[in-house]
Amino acid sequence: MRDTTRPPWQPCEAGSAGVAMSAGTESAYSYRQNILLNALERALIVRRYGRSIDKEITAMPRRQRIHVPEGTYYVIQRGGRQTPVFARPEDYELFERLLQGVLNRTGVRLHAYCWTPDALHLALRIEDVTLGRFMQGLTSRYARDAQQRMGESGHFFRQRYQAVLIEPAHYLLPLVQYLHHLPVLEGLANSPDDHCYSSHRAYSGAADVPWLHTREVWRLLGRSGHAYRALMAVRPAPYAAELFQRGHRETPGILGTPDFVAQLPRPVRPPCCRVSLHQIVAGVTRSLDVDRQYLLSGSRRRDLALARALIAWNATERGVASLSEVARYLRRDPSTLSVAIRRYRASRPELFKLEAFHFLTPLGRPGPYRIASRLNEGDAAGLAG
């Protein structure tokens, strides 16, 4: 019989009533396997507590992401143990070009940043697109390009990114101060002015960074350059790193006042999307005034190629479907859609923004205007799909 004095998820000693094992069996298993209960006890645990003992022993539960539209986050993405994120100056330039594109597509506002050789540090505000979608779009593109250059494969970034939701009214300025002093704290520079890869140069007037959203920080500073210099004249507190990377002890992953925490939504996983692929197809074809029958045909007309590119882009950016799934639906090759997206994004960038088809959210709301009027017969841009 099982030892009823022992909680069911606690390990039991070899030879106790909880798990009877011979010496040969015990030597054949690792310590982790030794502490697992027998199949009967495990079934009772799942039935009684609704969880598996294996997960309880082998890993800590992953903290669920909190998606707060218009929320401000401090995000850290570290590189792999063997591969630096940035190995040469050209890597920084490549990453910032990709970052600018992702910011434009998602509507995310970047308040401050610091790039170190082994990590990305960002202070940003998200909109409807989740932070996970933003980071996936940013890091996957950079990792792919960087690995192609180096001739490597595998995981470029270490695990998942870290993110802490912050209350900007109280913590955005201290976070900016911390990020701009980070190169000094890590021994990469003697002063924030000496590090070329942070937003300090933009705030100090030494560089122009058009994709950096500085308005909120300047508002908190009273639009005073003197106030910014006074902020940077003081080194961050010794506990700043742990505070910004973990949040308050009482509210892990969140850094804010009790009133700020109280008004946050419950930590439930947000829906991956608000529309279906069929609704995207209907919305795009209606806006471009193209017939769905011709959309799925073999026609290579430019208006149809543009519609297919917009459908594929919206579906993948909104997390509705993968490019391969869209290609099967449209009866096209994924590489053809990829080329069409790239070409039409270059020639018609105003259409490749989530707000361009904002009538797709909420579900079923018809578009207030038609994009077809802005198209013309002589549009020579893009590659026919």
CA-to-CA distance for 102 and 120, rounded, in angstroms?
15
Checking if the pLDDT of 382 tops 80, the result is no
- HSE at residue 138, side-chain half, CA atoms within 13 A, is 30
What tokens does 54 get? Answer: 């294996």
* pLDDT of 292: 84
**Is 379 inside a domain boundary?**
no
**Is 255 inside a domain boundary?**
yes
* pLDDT of 136: 86
CA-to-CA distance for 339 and 50, rounded, in angstroms?
48
Q: What is the DSSP string of 246-279?
A: HB-SSSBTEES-HHHHHTSPPS-PPPS-SS-HHH
**Is 381 inside a domain boundary?**
no
Q: Do 166 and 26 sit in the same domain of this protein?
A: no
Count of other CB atoms within 10 angstroms of residue 163: 24
- State what percent of residues in the chain have pLDDT above 70: 71
DSSP state for residue 61 in the 8-state scheme: P
Of 166-175, 213-222, 257-266, 281-290, the one with minimum mean pLDDT is 257-266
Domain with 45 in it: 1-61
| CB contact set of 274 (below 8 Å; sequence gap of 6+) | 318, 360, 361, 362, 363
Q: Do 56 and 78 sit in the same domain of this protein?
A: no
What tokens does 330 get? Answer: 């449209």
Q: Please give the helix or strand (H or E) that residue 122 lies within, else none.
A: strand 119-125
Give the residue from 148, 163, 143 showing the smallest Cα distance to 80: 143
What tokens does 70 get? Answer: 């218009």
Q: Do 178 and 253 sit in the same domain of this protein?
A: yes
**Is 382 inside a domain boundary?**
no
Give the residue from 157, 135, 137, 176 showing the smallest Cα distance to 86: 157
CA-to-CA distance for 284 and 308, rounded, in angstroms?
9
Higher pLDDT, 224 or 374: 224
Q: How confident is the model at residue 360 (pLDDT cuts 50, 70, 90)?
A: low
Q: How confident is the model at residue 5 (pLDDT cuts 50, 70, 90)?
A: very low
**Is 66 inside a domain boundary?**
no
Amino acid at 304: L
**Is 129 inside a domain boundary?**
yes
Domain end position, chosen among 61, 93, 112? 61
Q: Do 139 and 202 sit in the same domain of this protein?
A: yes
Do residues 277 and 326 make contact, with C-beta atoms less than 8 angstroms apart? Answer: yes
Q: Do 115 and 179 sit in the same domain of this protein?
A: yes
CA-to-CA distance for 185 and 189, rounded, in angstroms?
8
CA-to-CA distance for 280 and 262, rounded, in angstroms?
36
- HSE at residue 141, side-chain half, CA atoms within 13 A, is 15
Checking if the pLDDT of 320 tops 50, the result is yes
Q: What is the pLDDT of residues 70-119, one digit of tens each?
A: 899 999 998 876 678 888 888 999 999 999 999 998 899 999 999 999 99
Q: Do 204 and 290 sit in the same domain of this protein?
A: no
Q: What is the pLDDT of residues 52-63, one digit of tens each?
A: 433 333 333 344
By CB atoms closer than 10 A (0-12, 13-18, 19+), residue 290 is buried
Q: How confident is the model at residue 120 (pLDDT cuts 50, 70, 90)?
A: very high
Q: Do 211 and 81 sit in the same domain of this protein?
A: yes
* pLDDT of 165: 94
Span 359-376, average pLDDT: 39
* pLDDT of 145: 78
Q: Scanning the structure block, which residue is given the tokens 């939504």? A: 265
* pLDDT of 152: 64
**Is 44 inside a domain boundary?**
yes
Q: Do 159 and 182 sit in the same domain of this protein?
A: yes
pTM of the model: 0.56
Checking if the pLDDT of 135 tops 80, the result is yes
CATH number of the domain at 344, please: 1.10.1750.10
* pLDDT of 80: 73
**Is 268 inside a domain boundary?**
no
Q: Scanning the structure block, which residue is given the tokens 């529309």? A: 275
Checking if the pLDDT of 231 tops 90, the result is yes
Domain end position, chosen among 228, 262, 296? 262
Q: How many domains does the chain divide into?
A: 3
Do residues 293 and 299 make contact, with C-beta atoms less than 8 angstroms apart? Answer: no
CATH number of the domain at 115, please: 3.30.70.1290
Count of other CB atoms within 10 angstroms of residue 211: 15
CA-to-CA distance for 74 and 245, rounded, in angstroms?
8
Domain end position, chosen among 195, 230, 262? 262
Instruction: Name the most confidently modeled range: 132-141, 201-210, 265-274.
Output: 201-210
